[in-house]
Amino acid sequence: MTGFETIKKSRLFQDFLRNEIVNGTYRPGDRLPSIRVLARQYNLSTITVNSVLLNLMTEGLLYSEQ
């Protein structure tokens, strides 16, 4: 897979997940599936999923609890 394909898949997943949040599929306080589950479900690497989640946290759409 070339770098551009990885960027495209990452961007598509980020847009998809953002829409899921904005449209109410995931509401405030809901837990998302784990990074591994999301990676398997959407055929992505865990690194890609983690990067997308961090980007959405930066946008203020997600937060992480330890």
Instruction: Give the model's pLDDT for residue 34.
Output: 96
Q: How confident is the model at residue 5 (pLDDT cuts 50, 70, 90)?
A: confident
Instruction: Give the model's pLDDT for residue 17.
Output: 97
Helices (H), 1-66: 3-22, 35-42, 46-58
Give per-residue pLDDT as tens, 10-66.
Answer: 999 999 999 999 999 999 889 999 999 999 999 999 999 999 999 999 999 999 887
Instruction: Give the model's pLDDT for residue 26.
Output: 93
